[in-house]
Structure 1
């Protein structure tokens, strides 16, 4: 085949796994053959609508088969997918549509309230709706697929060609569009399949949104490349997730510490049958010890990972067998990826010395979309992550914090993640974030924001008492807020820029 990219995966998988169930969503199931047939018809519809190689097709939707059909159909015609975060506001969606130059927007009908006003000032942008009937001039995707002829052409697509533009969360300034190639995703999948013990009979439950790179790159694509089965959930609900694990005999679950914590703290945790689980992968931050122990008590262990949009997203992984003796570590570099830590002068840091984390490999992007001003993030083969960390004597990576999140107080460098880990030891704490706030004397001081667990009796005084003697005095937060919830991105990461703004009001 001339198409070496994602668009060729379904036809390559067809002969091997045609009748096998590829996707389960609610009460619906699609085999690999059905997924291919619908994707091929959608590709034909895209071509008929004027979508050509390298054109951009935007997608605004929750986890569903339509997301996968669009992904593979776009790849078949050699175009580029632009997944949009469903939690964005109208101006943010409009900016990404304009910046990417999208020719078509496919969106869930339930998200018309976002899609319609965001595209109103883009008269040349076509719109198709998922899950609705054709009305108001917006064609329904099912009708579009049913009326189209299947795509049969073999468009030349190389691994170096652009596959997806994923916009970063934009916690400071305008978000940047990371240009992920077919090769970036393919090599990331190789890393997952080499470093994780995945099998063809895997049943993977996707509880994180596929418009986020962690779900798409670390879960969805490796599973489909392997010929496994995906169970897609549009929204995260702990009780429902536990039921689905039992119902579908789920073997592989991935998420962030918050989702795993919510599962093990749910009243159904002890009564649901989760004995089918054998793979737990967690990213975003270290798993709190009490959560680790809750899963260990049920015979389970975590594989931790570290990465970002720009690395498709895997950079390092910590095997489950090392979750105890290397607690807090993000692990070793993935098989086809290299990681180093450098000091302020750009020289390789000594073991244990904190510096910026640099990443290299075929899974790392080479550029941002329309952002020549961001070229400084790339230096030869190395991508500057903007994260701080260190490598221990065995080469295991420990991530300290984002460079922008580091607090400089009276000349001392303070890493919020260190403080957060100690506060998280308290069983009454559901979530915590530490940010720097302006101080007339010290320049900056730490401020802690804590979410108590439901029903817990937690006070600021109790947190301060817990920190006393465990941290240097200059690291102990000078102020603390107890809040009912945290502002988060779609991937579950705490939006510290919002917390900083709230703390300074």
Structure 2
């Protein structure tokens, strides 16, 4: 076999554990690794017939489904590059991703047709396929898979070849495509196997969207590499999640603090059998003490961690045994990853000193798609990824996050970059200045607030600003509150002092 990347995984799983259940979806759908491999073969064949070749981009916009994984592994067999797109993005954001990635094929949920329309027109899309059964006039992916003969040309794929492009918002407001190689996704999976003790008998409930780097790189892929089972859910509803844990004997669960809060607050929490649960992982932000207490009362502890799309995404992990002793820390560097702290001159600082977090390892991406300057600035002279986050290492090497240099807001596990919102609010008639900050929220961790100044005679309200932005931004990025002030605090050079605003408004 010439394919040394993800495209070989299912063929090898078909040999090693053909009858093992790989996926449980909905109430009655089950797929073995043999069946999953067969469907990936069929997807690769139908993509090949549509002209997809090594290096071509295949975009997927849809909720969690087996088809997501069929397309991922089918595209990987051809050496094509998988581009998963956040379903919560607004139409202009989707258009940017499709255009910037240069996707040749788009596969999307039928429910998203209206939002992807403009993107298809603006991009280089040669073929569009809807998920599911489709219609008599336009067969859907499920029907096309059944009618495909399977088989494909054995394409030579190296670990260093690109496997996926995941788009992450940036400080300039334009989403950047982080190119993740087969090597990146393989090594982040190995990190998870080592640091989370994943075994082939695990049953992982997947409730977070697979288009997120965490769910893909640290959820689905390590589970499938090990030959364990995924209980795949289209979305998250706490009552159903509790039911599935009990019904399927779930051993692993991943989420953000909001996920676990909603589970613990559900009426069925106390009477649900959680005896099979062994491994809980949480990212996005620190787990509040109240949530820790609720789960520890049921004999459960968390692995917490830190990372970003550019690190595929895991960089550190905090084991459950250290949750209390190192509370507030995001843990040690993953087994095959290294973390260091640098000052503003790029020099290493002593333990306990705050500086910029830099990361190195085979899980660190090679760069941004078609953005050479952004890529160059993202790395230190000796090749370490500059995270843009501030933190320090304690005497034992545990990482603590001090501040986010890029002002990123994490809301319910979603990354929000203020510049993206600020650029659009600045275009609203009457607005003369704006600063978007993250404000602590008991449910979502943080939510964006917009602090604005307006010209004489003009007005801006939460309702009017949200209405103006609706359809231009994903709804989770819309400011939850808009406050009009006389002036924004600024430095001598004219930059807004966001730290002052966060101190005033509870950020």
Indicate how the Cα distance of structure 1 residues 288 and 146 shifts in structure 2: closer, same or farther if over 3 A, else same: same
Name the residue aligned to 2:454: none
Name the residue aligned to 1:403: 405
Partner of 2:9, secondary structure, is helix
Indicate how the Cα distance of structure 1 residues 178 and 120 shifts in structure 2: closer, same or farther if over 3 A, else same: same
Aligned residues: 441
Separation in 2, partners of 1:204, 1:387: 30
Pairwise CA distance, 1:197: 1.3
Give matches, 1:230-309, under 5 Å: 230-309=230-309
Indicate how the Cα distance of structure 1 residues 131 and 201 shifts in structure 2: closer, same or farther if over 3 A, else same: same
Name the residue aligned to 1:393: 395
Matching of residue 149 in structure 1 with residue 129 in structure 2: no
Matching of residue 324 in structure 1 with residue 320 in structure 2: no
With 373-382 and 227-236 compared, the bigger mean Cα shift is at: 373-382
Separation in 2, partners of 1:256, 1:370: 31
Indicate how the Cα distance of structure 1 residues 286 and 450 shifts in structure 2: closer, same or farther if over 3 A, else same: closer
Give matches, 1:77-476, under 5 Å: 77-122=78-123, 124-134=125-135, 138-170=138-170, 172-374=172-374, 375-379=376-380, 380-405=382-407, 449-451=439-441
Preserved CA contact (<8 Å) 2:5 2:183:
yes
Indicate how the Cα distance of structure 1 residues 234 and 503 shifts in structure 2: closer, same or farther if over 3 A, else same: farther
Partner of 1:201, secondary structure, is coil
Pairwise CA distance, 1:234: 1.1
Name the residue aligned to 2:64: 63
Partner of 1:358, secondary structure, is strand
Preserved CA contact (<8 Å) 2:44 2:152:
no
Preserved CA contact (<8 Å) 2:171 2:406:
no
Separation in 2, partners of 1:385, 1:452: 27
Preserved CA contact (<8 Å) 2:207 2:236:
yes
Pairwise CA distance, 1:405: 2.4
Preserved CA contact (<8 Å) 2:13 2:227:
yes
Preserved CA contact (<8 Å) 2:62 2:109:
yes
With 18-27 and 164-173 compared, the bigger mean Cα shift is at: 164-173
Separation in 2, partners of 1:367, 1:451: 33
Q: What do you get for the CA RMSD once the two structures are aligned?
A: 3.0
Preserved CA contact (<8 Å) 1:263 1:269:
yes
Name the residue aligned to 1:410: none
Separation in 2, partners of 1:446, 1:87: 20
Separation in 2, partners of 1:451, 1:324: 23
Name the residue aligned to 1:464: none
Separation in 2, partners of 1:314, 1:249: 26
Pairwise CA distance, 1:76: 0.6
TM-score, structure 1 length as denominator? 0.82
Pairwise CA distance, 1:233: 0.9
Residues 391-443 of structure 1: per-residue CA shift (max 9 Å, x gap): 0011100012210329xxxxxxxxx99xx9xxxxxxxxxxxx9x999xxxxxx
Residues 15-45 of structure 1: per-residue CA shift (max 9 Å, x gap): 2110111001102111101111111011100
Q: Which runs of 4+ in 1 moved over 6 A?
A: 444-448
Q: Which runs of 5+ in 1 are unaligned?
A: 407-415, 421-432, 438-443, 455-480, 482-486
Partner of 1:120, secondary structure, is helix
Preserved CA contact (<8 Å) 1:127 1:139:
no
Matching of residue 34 in structure 1 with residue 14 in structure 2: no
Indicate how the Cα distance of structure 1 residues 15 and 360 shifts in structure 2: closer, same or farther if over 3 A, else same: same
Pairwise CA distance, 1:152: 4.0
Name the residue aligned to 2:25: 25
Name the residue aligned to 1:502: 482
Partner of 2:112, secondary structure, is helix
Separation in 1, partners of 2:321, 2:154: 44
Separation in 2, partners of 1:95, 1:445: 24
Partner of 1:325, secondary structure, is coil
Residues 266-287 of structure 1: per-residue CA shift (max 9 Å, x gap): 1111011111100000111110
Pairwise CA distance, 1:121: 3.6
Residues 454-492 of structure 1: per-residue CA shift (max 9 Å, x gap): 9xxxxxxxxxxxxxxxxxxxxxxxxxx9xxxxx9xxxx9
Separation in 1, partners of 2:22, 2:169: 30
Separation in 2, partners of 1:42, 1:283: 32
Pairwise CA distance, 1:62: 0.7
Residues 236-281 of structure 1: per-residue CA shift (max 9 Å, x gap): 1111100110111100000111111111111111011111100000
Separation in 2, partners of 1:150, 1:500: 49
Pairwise CA distance, 1:84: 0.5
Separation in 2, partners of 1:445, 1:366: 32
Separation in 2, partners of 1:13, 1:301: 31
Separation in 1, partners of 2:481, 2:172: 12
Residues 319-363 of structure 1: per-residue CA shift (max 9 Å, x gap): 100000100101000111010011112111221111100000000
Indicate how the Cα distance of structure 1 residues 327 and 129 shifts in structure 2: closer, same or farther if over 3 A, else same: same
Separation in 2, partners of 1:202, 1:272: 19
Pairwise CA distance, 1:493: 13
Separation in 1, partners of 2:142, 2:438: 49
Preserved CA contact (<8 Å) 2:188 2:363:
yes
TM-score, structure 2 length as denominator? 0.81
Separation in 2, partners of 1:61, 1:128: 12
Preserved CA contact (<8 Å) 1:109 1:132:
no
Preserved CA contact (<8 Å) 2:168 2:177:
yes
